[in-house]
């Protein structure tokens, strides 16, 4: 009962999760608190930083009240968060406006102008493309959703706010500022600003040429670039009081720098060895692994970028919507409040979807769902493509509609699989499934059948990011070594592919890819310039 605990904070898009872990990664308890999204014209998506902090404090106090003696046992704190967000703060550390989050595309026109030039390759100036990829591993995406695009948007359309901003912070770094009073970032967090030279993995620093290409002042970015496991500093007394923690006298609670959600999921999955793969299914999704090299696949929007594990790279790619497709199904198809129905979604709506999907034969009556509700990033960077059900008929059932969404998300992962395996030059032996989707037994089995790879269901998948953050804190505070993380990550169950479904899913997957090839031009014509209306 006197062993030290680590408080892990995961600031996701829907709000923060907080959890308490032992120093070796055992989950003691966790809770969450919602934070709303603010949708604005022209593709704007924001959140209130004050609401983030209030939700974190509320959730933390609730959690501490649930675990006897916890408030006096917390020895360290680590934050992980949504990536590619921008909070403008003044010299005193006060947020000057809402945070622009990763879904916001208002900077697209400015990043396209910044990265363009002649001769052009895929819309990028060839010389700029070479410089960016050679030094960073990637280049700002034309969708305008990278952090650098947010800053350029503010620079051009809100110059007064830009001028008053002392530092632009990622969401994780803003929360760390509230915890410690210190402004800093970590090397992997700053990657999507595309202004750091990442060629020497142990000596990552801002690059003057890249800053000039991006058109952003060095003084507007955090001065200190740390490793994710570095100790940022002690928790302030004021923050401890708001969180409900006991941090008096010489018992300082140390805050570790932490990392974005993609990186913490990789650590929390336990797949910390090179080439060990995990698939995350939350609001968005990805298929990723650590690698010992820097490499870029520009054509499929993938790159090996700095990892949360010091001295390592992480293969980065992303699907824009995964679990969000089930949320769309719940809120926009089956439940809602309008002239047709006035029925709030039950708390067990997703469990009901699981039951219905499991009772529906594989293949969903040959109905195919494409999950591109918010465009796509990998293996195609296409912000105008949209989702749909294909091959609907009078025989289509509600079970087909539901199961096809599960299968469509798995098809999207399979679309990415061969490009991942080509990138690392070897097949994946198995895939660890994590995130909220990892709670679903039927979704795990569908992924095994569609990917034709064994799927390892990591225990407590909803807390994969908090576990990853806790592991990083444990390493930074000396309780654990990186090589021990895998052994401390419990596997709930292994799902083997059903060979009887291979032929069916091979055929349907072929049609899935063909749908994109035949419709993406139509979607471009429908949605170019109207993304925020769709």
Q: If you write DSSP's letter for every residue of 376-416 in order, what string do you get?
A: B-SS--BSS---EEES--TT--HHHHHHHHHHHHHHHHHHH
Q: 219: burial class by Cβ within 10 Å (0-12, 13-18, 19+)?
A: exposed
pLDDT in tens, the chain (534 residues): 679 999 999 999 999 999 999 999 999 999 999 999 999 999 999 999 999 999 999 999 999 999 999 999 999 999 999 999 999 999 999 999 999 999 999 999 999 999 999 999 889 999 999 999 999 999 998 889 999 999 999 999 999 999 999 999 999 999 999 999 999 999 999 999 999 999 999 999 999 999 999 999 999 999 999 999 999 999 999 999 999 998 655 578 999 999 999 999 999 999 999 999 999 998 889 999 999 999 999 889 999 999 999 999 999 999 999 999 999 999 999 998 888 878 889 999 999 999 999 999 999 999 999 999 989 989 998 989 999 999 999 999 999 999 999 999 999 999 999 999 999 999 999 999 999 999 999 999 999 999 999 999 999 998 999 999 999 999 999 999 999 999 999 999 999 999 999 999 999 999 999 999 999 999 999 998 765 554
pLDDT of residue 326: 97
pLDDT of residue 341: 77
What is d(CA 534, CA 523) in angstroms, rounded to the nearest whole number? 11
3-state secondary structure 148-213: HHHHHHHHHHCHHHHHHCCEEECHHHHHHHHHHCCCCEECCHHHHHCCEECCCCCCCEECHHHHHH
Local structure of residue 469 (DSSP, 8 states) = H
What is d(CA 157, CA 256) in angstroms, rounded to the nearest whole number? 35
- In the block, which residue shows the tokens 């999760």? 17
Q: Please answer whether residues 12 and 282 qualify as being in contact, where contact means their C-beta atoms are separated by less than 8 angstroms.
A: yes
pLDDT of residue 339: 85
Strand duo 185-186 + 225-226: pairing: parallel
What is d(CA 316, CA 401) in angstroms, rounded to the nearest whole number? 31
What is d(CA 475, CA 470) in angstroms, rounded to the nearest whole number? 9
């Amino acid at each position: 009962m006197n062993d030290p605990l680590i408080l892990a904070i995961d600031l996701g898009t829907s709000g923060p999760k907080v959890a308490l872990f032992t120093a070796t990664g055992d989950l003691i308890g966790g809770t969450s608190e919602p934070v709303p999204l603010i949708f604005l014209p022209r593709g704007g998506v924001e959140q209130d930083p004050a609401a983030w902090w209030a939700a974190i404090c509320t959730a933390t106090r609730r959690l501490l009240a649930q675990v006897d003696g916890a408030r006096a046992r917390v020895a360290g704190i680590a934050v992980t968060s949504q990536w590619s967000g921008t909070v403008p703060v003044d010299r005193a550390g006060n947020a000057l406006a809402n945070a622009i989050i990763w879904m916001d595309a208002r900077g697209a026109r400015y990043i396209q102008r910044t990265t363009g030039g002649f001769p052009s390759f895929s819309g990028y100036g060839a010389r700029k493309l070479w410089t960016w990829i050679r030094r960073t591993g990637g280049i700002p995406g034309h969708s305008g959703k990278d952090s650098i695009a947010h800053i350029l948007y503010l620079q051009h359309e809100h110059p007064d706010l830009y001028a008053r901003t002392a530092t632009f912070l990622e969401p994780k770094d803003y929360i760390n500022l509230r915890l410690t009073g210190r402004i800093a970032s970590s090397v992997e967090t700053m990657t999507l600003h595309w202004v750091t030279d990442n060629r020497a993995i142990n000596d990552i620093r801002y690059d003057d040429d890249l800053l000039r290409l991006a058109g952003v002042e060095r003084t507007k970015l955090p001065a200190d670039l740390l490793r994710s496991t570095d100790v940022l500093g002690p928790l302030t007394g004021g923050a401890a009081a708001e969180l409900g923690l006991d941090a008096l006298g010489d018992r300082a609670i140390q805050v570790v720098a932490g990392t974005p959600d993609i990186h913490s999921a990789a650590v929390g999955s336990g797949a910390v060895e090179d080439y060990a793969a995990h698939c995350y299914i939350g609001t968005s999704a990805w298929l990723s692994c650590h690698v010992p090299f820097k490499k870029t696949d520009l054509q499929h929007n993938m790159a090996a970028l700095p990892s949360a594990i010091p001295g390592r790279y992480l293969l980065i790619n992303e699907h824009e919507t995964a679990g969000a497709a089930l949320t769309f199904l719940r809120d926009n198809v089956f439940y809602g409040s309008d002239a047709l129905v006035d029925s709030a979604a039950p708390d067990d709506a997703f469990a009901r979807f699981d039951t219905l999907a499991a009772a529906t034969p594989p293949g969903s009556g040959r109905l195919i769902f494409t999950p591109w509700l918010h465009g796509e990033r990998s293996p195609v960077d296409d912000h105008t493509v949209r989702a749909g059900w294909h091959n609907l008929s009078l025989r289509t059932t509600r079970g087909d509609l539901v199961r096809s969404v599960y299968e469509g998300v798995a098809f999207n992962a399979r679309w990415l699989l061969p490009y991942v395996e080509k990138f690392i030059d070897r097949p994946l032996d198995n895939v660890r499934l994590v995130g909220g989707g990892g709670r679903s037994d039927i979704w795990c089995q569908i992924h095994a059948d569609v990917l034709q790879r064994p799927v390892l269901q990591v225990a407590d998948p909803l807390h994969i990011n908090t576990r990853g953050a806790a592991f990083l804190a444990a390493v930074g505070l000396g309780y654990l070594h990186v090589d021990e993380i895998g052994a401390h990550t419990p596997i709930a169950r292994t799902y083997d592919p059903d060979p009887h479904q291979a032929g069916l899913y091979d055929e349907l997957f072929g049609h899935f890819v063909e749908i994109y090839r035949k419709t993406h031009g139509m979607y471009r014509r429908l949605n170019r310039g109207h993304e925020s209306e769709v």
